[in-house]
Amino acid sequence: MKKIYLIILIFFNSYVLSAEENISYLEIESDELIITENPLVSKFIGNVYAKNEENQFWGDTILINYNNDKKINLITAVGNVIIEREEEKVMGDKAIYNLKSEKMIISGDVSVFRDGNILNGNELTIDLMTSISIINGSNKKQVSAKIIE
């Protein structure tokens, strides 16, 4: 009986620990925050800076949308957007980060800086699961690159 109790206890503790490990935090600073209840949206206005474990965001405005369980499902940064992740820095006019699909789409006048190389385009899609990034140009602006040899 004692063994069963011990096994249950160990199982429960490991479950609690693993659940705790899955928790992530998003920290945001701004001049103003407006929260609307229906639908639940948080709008950060003015000198916005946000960070989680992997990414840092800057923008004029950042919008956070929640799902029905009040968990964040979408982060949208608008205006003078800068994203820093790993050894990469991305600049653009707008960024949409879908937490469920773990995809980030940066649009507008996009520039990617990495290891001294610069990549310019109209839209950048980053798949955070596979670490695959695709940069697209537009009719007006083709993709251009400046690579240090």
Partner 1 sequence: MNKYFTIITIFIFFVLLCLVIFTFNKDDTSQLEAKIDSLNENLTPGVIEILNPTFVNKGLDENPYEIAAKKGIQINEDIELYAVTGKFTDKDKKLIYISADKGYYSQNQQVIELTGNVLMYDDLGNKTSTEKATIDIEIKKTVLTNKVISVTNTSEIQSDSSVVDDENGLITYTGNVKVKIKNK
Cα–Cα distance between 104 and 97 in angstroms, integer?
4
End-to-end CA gap in the chain: 69
Closer CB to partner 1, 37 or 115, in the complex: 37
Q: How far is the CB of 78 from partner 1 (least distance, A)?
A: 17
Judged by the rule CB under 8 A, the positions of this chain that interact with partner 1 are: 19, 22-38, 42, 44, 64, 70-72, 99
Closer CB to partner 1, 46 or 144, in the complex: 46
Do residues 92 and 106 touch, judged by C-beta distance below 8 A?
yes
At 103, list the tokens. Answer: 């995809």
Q: How far is the CB of 23 from partner 1 (least distance, A)?
A: 6
Q: How far is the CB of 96 from partner 1 (least distance, A)?
A: 17
Closer CB to partner 1, 98 or 133, in the complex: 98
Closer CB to partner 1, 32 or 127, in the complex: 32
Q: How far is the CB of 22 from partner 1 (least distance, A)?
A: 5
Any long-range contacts for 70-75 (C-beta under 8 Å, 24+ apart)?
A: 70/40, 72/26, 72/99, 73/98, 73/99, 73/100, 74/98, 74/99, 75/26, 75/50, 75/99
At 62, list the tokens. Answer: 């950042």
